[in-house]
Amino acid sequence: MSEPVKTNRRTAQARATRSRIIESARELFLGQGYAATTLDQIALRAGVAVQTVYFHFRNKATVLKEVMDVSSVGDDAPVPLLDRPWLRRVREEPDPRRAVAIWLRNSRAVYGRVAPLLSVVRDAAGADPDMAAQWRVNQDQRYVAHRTLAEILAAKKALRPGLTVAKAADIIFTLVSPEVYLLVTGERGWSAARWQNWVTALVAQEVLEP
């Protein structure tokens, strides 16, 4: 067997192991919380030695960060959320309302994967400095994403008169929040589709030129 083939096989095996660890950790974090989950449990569930988990991730906080990152984009490809094809469609869509609808359709998919994990992080943040830092990172990343949408809409000259990019970003950041998503889909029993339709109309009403 040639060396490139061996290298490709080892790379594929390592990626598969990493993915199995991430999925096992996700299941445990959601099932029993962050504090109760140990690296030994993650390793056992993934069918690997705990040293393998340390090799790939170093510590539990890094495992959670990777779980969050993979859940946000939906796969383990090394392509950031804002470099994905769906964002290009938002940029290229000439109708601002359709652009907002594309964004919120993707937000629904993202929150379906990541909102329960954000609850885990939020609940652990009060007692765990690593989780407090992770929560802050998640919030900062979410703001950057929603400011990107505000900038795209401003470039289309679609913002309400007098509304700055910064103010539009604040409005979108608040309305399209995981807290609201979890409140209406969890506490009030809304479907994710109902949330999507409602928040799409609300963002258009508050941000876009009438």
| Each residue's pLDDT tens digit, 64-88 | 888 888 887 776 666 666 778 888 9
Distance in angstroms (rounded) separating the CA atoms of residues 206 and 200: 10
Query: In the chain, what is the greatest distance between 2 CA atoms, to the nearest angstrom?
Result: 66
**What is the structure's pLDDT at 50?**
94
First to last CA, the chain: 65
Residue 2 pLDDT level (bands cut at 50, 70, 90) = low
The pTM of this model reads 0.78
Instruction: Report the candidate in 25, 30, 22, 27 with the shortest Cα–Cα distance to residue 124.
Output: 30
Q: Dihedral of CA 116/118/122/125: which sign?
A: positive
122 has pLDDT over 70: yes
CB 19 within 8 A of CB 78: no
What are 38-66's pLDDT values in tens digits?
Answer: 999 999 999 999 999 999 888 888 898 88
